[in-house]
Amino acid sequence: MNNQSTRNKLLCVDFDKPLPFTFDGKLFTGYQGDSIASALYRGGVRIFSRSFKYHRPRGLMTLDGTTPNDLVTVDGISNLHASTIPLKANMQVRGQNAWPSVGFDLMGIFDSLSALLPVGFYYKTFIRPRALWPLYEKVLRNAAGLGSIDPDPDHFEESYFEKAYAHAEVTVVGGGPSGMSAALAAADLGAQVTLIEKEPSLGGHLRISEFETQIADWEIFPNIEFTNLNSSLELVEHLSNAVHAHLGIKLLTSATAFGWYEGNYIGVSQGNRLVKLRADQLIIATGQIEQPLVFQNNDLPGVFLGSGLQRLMNQYGIKPGQRAVVITTNDQGWYIARDLLKHDVEIVMLVDARLEIPENEITAQVRGAGVPVKAGMTIKKALGRKSVRGAMLAQTDGNAQPLELNCDLISVSGGFSANNALLYQSGCKIAYDPANDDFVPQNYPQKVVGAGHTVGTRGLEAILLEGCVAGVEAASRTGYHKAQETLPKLKEQLEALKSARRSNDHAHPLGQIPTDGDKTFVCFCEDVTTKDVHAAVAEGFDDIQTLKRYSTVSMGPTQGKICAKNTIKLFAQLTDRGIAEAGTTTSRPPFTPVKLGVLGGRLLDPIRLTPMHHIHAKLGATMMNAGQWKRPEHYGNPEAEVRAVRQRVGIIDVSTLGKIDVRGQDAIEFLERIYTGKFAGLKPGRLRYGLMCTDEGIILDDGVVGCLAENNFFLTTTTGGAGSVYEWLTWWATAWGLEVHITEQTASYAAVNLAGPQARDLLSKLTDIDLSNEAFSYMYMRLGQVAGIPARLLRIGFVGETGYEIHVPADYGAHLWETLMEAGTEFGNTPFGLEAQRVLRLEKGHIIIGQDTDALSDPYGARMGWAVNLDKPYFIGKPSLARRNQKTPGEQLVGFEMSDSTIVPGEGEQFVQAGQLVGRVTSARYSSTLGQSIGLGWVKSEFAAIGSKLNLRRNDHLEQATVVNLPFYDPEGKLVRS
Amino acid sequence: MQFDPKPKRVSPLHGQHQTLNVRFDLRGGWLTPEVYTTSAEETALLRKSVGLIDISAWGKLLLKGANSSEVIATCFGEAPTKTGEAREIKSNHILVAGLTPDEFLILTPSGAEKQWATSLEAEIAMQNTFASVIDLTSGLVGLSISGPKCTTVMSKLCAIPFNSKAFPNLCVVQSSFAKVRGTIIHHDRGSLPAFELFADCSYGEYLWEAILDAGREFGMQPVGWEAIGTINEENEP
């Protein structure tokens, strides 16, 4: 079917650029500039979807995304409005909520069973017999929902989502005439303006139909350069060009402001991008939404809102039907009739609900074209099964017999509702204005204002001027005061224009919603009829909020855009209240659906790499996460790595250890207060183990303190504790007011631990430092060169062998590693990872903070009382530790061996006695060095004595363990000190 | 054993540069990425769109102390730098950034940081004040996002306003950037808009990839020191 009309100036379709696509597997052709909906309509499709509950056939109605009728699946992404998606070549579009197709849906039987599915039916049915609930649930879950997701990961195609932040002195939401006027006015004064428009082009309602501007005095607009723009098209082009050219206006098109958040924080979705915009001043100029009338079968394909027909005809060049009946309550319907005539649609009758139809240019034009007109009438029912084949009309006073007319198209213009969700969300007080038959702002919160149709203003001149005033005021509040003098006059002129238009020419004069008749829909998303609202009120839901929740009216994808106003009116009618008294429901963001991917954005998951990372990767290391760090877990054979360290020499990357510089004349005093041990008298070149506790005496972190020079120390911390310990130190330094500077330098230094019987031999090849035990003994430090690099060498022994921890500037890290590996070839130097390190340190009985300790572990329970010096005048945790020292800890950390060496307990497994919990495992491994399964764990003190037998609970049986002395390996520490 | 007595310093992004087959040069002891594609292409990219430059080789000194601003003023012969302000000491190719009233980040040419650290320490001793000079050259990755689209790229990763009114040239802030704490300096090169980011070097590769990802709609690519040198020469009086 070829419905292409004569080319018109509003057309946005290029018929020279065809685009093939499919709908439910069938091939169609659209054109560049088409939406999916317009292309399908041009191709003859009239049923686009099936309704949520009753599976009634649904067709296009508004073409602006304000109904659920056009929700389709596009290229696997469900629940997209076909009317708002630009067509692209080879799109695969599928209908939703129907089987096998939207054209023929077996689930349409629900329409016939509607009597069994009244409002809130799920609270009343499917309750008994209870045993059948699993069946009910399965059926309901399959039947419910809208659209579907393909869970097969092989079918998943990643989409690119991202976020951006934006800031603007003045933000204008809505790119229609009022919004453009506001943006130009503010930007002309010097403000930085961001203008957000949901369509690809600016213009709003000026883009869907052409009319005469009829503006008497162009001089009143300081922000519109040209005068005598007689056509609305000329005006929109002028304004749009001015906005595009203005350097002070940043334009976001195809962007929807879906929510207002505290502090004028606006959520904007633009394709797959989320823009988080912070506005100093906010102007809402989001226009108005045409409203449907409520009558029987008002959801039948072929029933359009007038503005939807205008889009179809004027923007897409499609003749919508052959014979139309036009129903209106205001002048808008007459403009629709004019446009229908332009597109060669026969108007069978124009029906105006007003008893007295005004005589003006548009009514004269339509009458003059010979269109039959009836006043005081409206539509009672749309006739047809799957599409309109006629209309039943009735007098508004109900006195005459209904009149039936044959037609294939019904145009409905039921007035307008301000699109003011963002104003609601911002805290604006909004109330019903009978003069406008609309909900309009009563006041504005700070830094927010509305303009144009959004606030109930009518008339092109008035909405342009109101936008201008809003822009000038907003710019002035931001600090641009140049036009303040002209503001009073502009406001005066605006008030005059608004007063002149305070007539009810857009309102439904009757205010009565019919409540009789079947399938009279108020909410198209949720299939809520007038009968349902009536029933809900009768059941006691006599508050608009509870009515909404019980009936689900306005809770669907379009969030009440074309049903909220009719529902409030109906509710007022049924409860004998005024419309203002009936109240409104609460608007919450998002006002339009937003993809979860848009809210998610990019996966920004910071990862930290050591300077030797790529070397580990080349060596085939299996990496693991240690907080944000990537560290080698092993290089293929952890047991072999352990043996290498015990028998020859191994090297591990320990760059992730926290490193903190502390200097200043109060440095020693600071360390004395921070650590439990004594640091006064620590001389340059010496190292000391440091244990930190909280005020409660709980172990916080540990490490090594080295004296670099007088009043200059460096501290090491655990990898996981580096950040928190740095904060801990800086907080206390500030609190105590000590003259000390603390600088975090974890990543500044690459570090390796070279350990094993041959570590000294290897290292001596690369340094002139005297490494003999006499010259450089355990817990000492040296500064010098290793492999030509300035280095700090620390003789410490986490793994229980002769060992050197070598710290070099990070940019030399890779060089250090490669040189050590090359030099170590003759010794069989072997990289070892965290898994091997865990075994090695466990053999030495060294604890790992956070692994073998928790939020209740104090030094005495952990058998680290030796690290606590209660003689010091003060340190953090001293009072608590002094008290703890006076009694036996309730629990103690012990070493244990399993009787059966093949059993390696899991971390967290329990020790029990007579069915009672007496302890838990914190670390356990099989030690090939000892030929034994060993571990650390906390047990109640009465079970902590050496030789005590412990029962480890494993599944349904017990395994025996024995408490042994620590360390397991080299108990006298000879090797580490050699 | 034989080893290179003067080993080269490499940036945290060295692995990335190697995979891109960049041509390196030696500046101040550092292997610096000079050209990835061609100098002309990279210069054109900077002028038309946006490029990413690894400036980790710059010297970075942190000066802390209550009288640090006086130390700097005396050492460099300039008026004190305020918090949030960056000052170019053109004669020495140095940039001083006021992080807090007591902390300053001093950026020097590659390899010059030790000399300037010595000068600062001498001045501290002269003034007999408590101040510390910490060499963070190895600890911070430096990234320059340069070109007309730089503001848009930055806005995808950081919530602070980057427009010229809120964040003018030679302004400095400390902020979360792609969820990592960093110091950001607005540092235009003549008419070429640019922002410099300094952060913990262990995040270097993550930030490199996050920034290139944010700039992909503009065709953002790594740019070498040669292209930046060309731009700098054009802007010299």
Question: Tell me, what's the pLDDT at A386?
Answer: 92
Choose among B9, B62, B132: nearest Cβ to A663: B132
**First-to-final CA distance of chain B:** 51
A83 vs A64: CA distance, rounded Å: 6
Question: Within 10 A of A342 (CB to CB), how many other CB atoms are there?
Answer: 16
A648-671: pLDDT as tens digits: 999 999 999 999 999 999 999 999
Higher pLDDT, A265 or A585: A265
Sorting pLDDT into bands at 50, 70 and 90, what band is B103?
A: very high
The pTM of the full predicted model, rounded to 2 decimals, is: 0.91
Mutual angle of helices A177-188 and A460-478, in 10-degree steps: 30
Tokens of A694: 């909280």
Question: Tell me, what's the pLDDT at A437?
Answer: 87
A664-704: pLDDT as tens digits: 999 999 999 999 999 999 999 999 999 999 999 999 999 99
Question: Residue B203: its chain A contacts at CB < 8 A?
Answer: 606-608
Question: Tell me, what's the pLDDT at A155?
Answer: 76
Phi and psi torsions of A699, nearest 5°: -65, 125
Contact B146, B223 (CB under 8 A): yes
A350 vs A323: CA distance, rounded Å: 12
A200-225: pLDDT as tens digits: 999 999 999 998 888 877 877 887 77
Choose among B135, B156, B206: nearest Cβ to A162: B156
Task: Work out the average pLDDT over A928-949.
Answer: 96
Task: Work out the average pLDDT over A602-607.
Answer: 93
Q: What is the DSSP string of A443-495?
A: E--TTEEE-GGGGT--SHHHHHHHHHHHHHHHHHHHT--TTGGGHHHHHHHHH
H or E element that contains A169: strand A162-173
Higher pLDDT, A214 or A2: A214
pLDDT over 70, % of chain A: 98
Average pLDDT, chain B: 94
A829 vs A99: CA distance, rounded Å: 68
Question: Residue A766: its chain B contacts at CB < 8 A?
Answer: 1, 3
Tokens of A246: 């203005």
A320 vs A328: CA distance, rounded Å: 18
Strand A303-305 with A288-290, pairing: unpaired
CA distances (Å), A575 to each of A532, A544, A549, A739, in order? 14, 10, 17, 75
For an interface test with A, which of B202, B206, B207 has the most A Cβ atoms less than 10 Å from its Cβ?
Answer: B202
Contact A391, A434 (CB under 8 A): no
Tokens of A912: 């029990």
B9-37: pLDDT as tens digits: 999 999 999 999 999 999 999 999 999 99
A410-465: pLDDT as tens digits: 999 999 999 999 999 999 999 999 888 899 999 999 999 999 999 999 899 999 99
Contact A652, B54 (CB under 8 A): no
Among A853, A848, A851, A842, smallest CA distance to A930 is for A842
- Does A505 have pLDDT greater than 60? no
Question: Tell me, what's the pLDDT at A502?
Answer: 59
Tokens of A331: 């002048």
Q: Does B2 touch chain A (CB under 8 A)?
A: no
Mutual angle of helices B113-127 and B68-76, in 10-degree steps: 120
Task: Work out the average pLDDT over A780-791.
Answer: 95
Specify the range with the lowest mean pLDDT, choosing from A212-216, A712-716, A782-786: A212-216
- Does A106 have pLDDT greater than 80? yes
Tokens of A207: 């883009």
Question: Tell me, what's the pLDDT at B32?
Answer: 97
Cis peptide before A590 (omega within 30 of 0): yes
Among A663, A732, A669, smallest CA distance to A695 is for A732
Question: Residue A787: its chain B contacts at CB < 8 A?
Answer: 3, 7
Choose among A610, A749, A823: nearest Cβ to B1: A823
- Does A6 have pLDDT greater than 50? no
Question: Tell me, what's the pLDDT at A123?
Answer: 77
Among A240, A114, A227, A131, smallest CA distance to A177 is for A240
B33 vs A910: CA distance, rounded Å: 56
Task: Work out the average pLDDT over B133-148.
Answer: 97
The answer for residues whose C-beta is within 8 angstroms of residue A423's C-beta and 6 or more apart is A284, A430, A441, A444, A448, A450, A454, A455
Inspect the interface and report whether the beta carbons of A815 and B1 lie closer than 8 Å: no
Question: Tell me, what's the pLDDT at A300?
Answer: 97
For an interface test with A, which of B110, B135, B138, B164 has the most A Cβ atoms less than 10 Å from its Cβ?
Answer: B138
Choose among A610, A748, A787: nearest Cβ to B139: A748
Question: Residue A815: its chain B contacts at CB < 8 A?
Answer: 4, 7-8, 10
Which residue in chain B has the smallest CA separation from A787? B3
Inspect the interface and report whether the beta carbons of A810 and B138 lie closer than 8 Å: yes
Burial label, A917 (beta-carbon count in 10 A; 0-12, 13-18, 19+): exposed
A95 vs A82: CA distance, rounded Å: 10
Choose among B30, B62, B156: nearest Cβ to A163: B156
Inspect the interface and report whether the beta carbons of B138 and A815 lie closer than 8 Å: no
Task: Work out the average pLDDT over A639-655.
Answer: 97
CA distances (Å), A889 to each of A893, A936, B237, in order? 10, 17, 75
Inspect the interface and report whether the beta carbons of A747 and B201 lie closer than 8 Å: yes
Contact A969, A955 (CB under 8 A): no
B201 vs B180: CA distance, rounded Å: 11
Contact A610, A628 (CB under 8 A): no
Sorting pLDDT into bands at 50, 70 and 90, what band is A511?
A: low
Question: Tell me, what's the pLDDT at A931?
Answer: 96
H or E element that contains A968: none
* Shortest Cα–Cα distance, B14 to chain A (Å): 9
Which residue in chain B has the smallest CA separation from A613? B15
Mutual angle of helices A530-538 and A564-574, in 10-degree steps: 50
Task: Work out the average pLDDT over A814-838.
Answer: 97
Inspect the interface and report whether the beta carbons of A164 and B155 lie closer than 8 Å: yes
- Does A354 have pLDDT greater than 50? yes
Say which amino acid occupies B185.
Answer: I
Question: Residue A609: its chain B contacts at CB < 8 A?
Answer: 12, 202, 204-206
- Does B4 have pLDDT greater than 80? no
**First-to-final CA distance of chain A:** 95
Say which amino acid occupies B89.
Answer: I
Mutual angle of helices A544-551 and A564-574, in 10-degree steps: 120
Inspect the interface and report whether the beta carbons of A747 and B64 lie closer than 8 Å: no
Question: Residue A606: its chain B contacts at CB < 8 A?
Answer: 178-180, 203, 206
Q: B155 in helix, strand or coil?
A: helix
Contact A417, A288 (CB under 8 A): yes
Choose among A604, A609, A811: nearest Cβ to B202: A609
B166-218: pLDDT as tens digits: 999 999 999 999 999 999 999 999 999 999 999 999 999 999 999 999 999 99
A255 vs B211: CA distance, rounded Å: 24
Tokens of A749: 């230094």
Of the CA atoms within 13 Å of residue A976, those in its CB half-sphere come to 22
Counting one residue from A and one from B, how many pairs have CB atoms under 8 Å apart?
A: 121
Task: Work out the average pLDDT over B75-90.
Answer: 87
Question: Tell me, what's the pLDDT at A500?
Answer: 78
A114-158: pLDDT as tens digits: 887 888 887 777 788 889 989 988 888 877 788 888 888 887 777
Cis peptide before A129 (omega within 30 of 0): yes
Which residue in chain B has the smallest CA separation from A275? B156
Question: Residue B6: its chain A contacts at CB < 8 A?
Answer: 788
Q: What is the DSSP string of A29-64?
A: EEEET-BHHHHHHHTT----EE-TTT--EE--S-SS
Question: Tell me, what's the pLDDT at A503?
Answer: 57
Q: Does B129 touch chain A (CB under 8 A)?
A: no
Inspect the interface and report whether the beta carbons of B159 and A165 lie closer than 8 Å: yes
A898-911: pLDDT as tens digits: 999 999 999 999 99
Task: Work out the average pLDDT over A793-806.
Answer: 94
B143 vs A689: CA distance, rounded Å: 38
* Shortest Cα–Cα distance, A639 to chain B (Å): 29
Contact A964, A895 (CB under 8 A): yes
Question: Residue A610: its chain B contacts at CB < 8 A?
Answer: 202
Question: Tell me, what's the pLDDT at A721?
Answer: 94
Q: A960 in helix, strand or coil?
A: strand
Inspect the interface and report whether the beta carbons of A745 and B139 lie closer than 8 Å: yes
B133 vs A741: CA distance, rounded Å: 10
Tokens of B186: 């607005």
Sorting pLDDT into bands at 50, 70 and 90, what band is A5?
A: very low
H or E element that contains A639: helix A638-647
Question: Tell me, what's the pLDDT at A214?
Answer: 81
Over its C-alpha atoms, chain A yields an Rg (Å, rounded) of 39
A244-280: pLDDT as tens digits: 999 999 999 999 999 999 999 999 999 999 999 999 9
Higher pLDDT, A334 or B164: A334
Question: Residue A627: its chain B contacts at CB < 8 A?
Answer: none
- Does B3 have pLDDT greater than 80? no
- Does A481 have pLDDT greater than 90? no
Question: Tell me, what's the pLDDT at A434?
Answer: 86
Strand A891-898 with A957-964, pairing: antiparallel
Task: Work out the average pLDDT over A348-353.
Answer: 96
Task: Work out the average pLDDT over A318-331.
Answer: 96
Specify the range with the lowest mean pLDDT, choosing from A625-629, B4-8, B150-154: B4-8
Largest CA distance in chain B: 59
Burial label, A129 (beta-carbon count in 10 A; 0-12, 13-18, 19+): exposed
Sorting pLDDT into bands at 50, 70 and 90, what band is A3?
A: very low
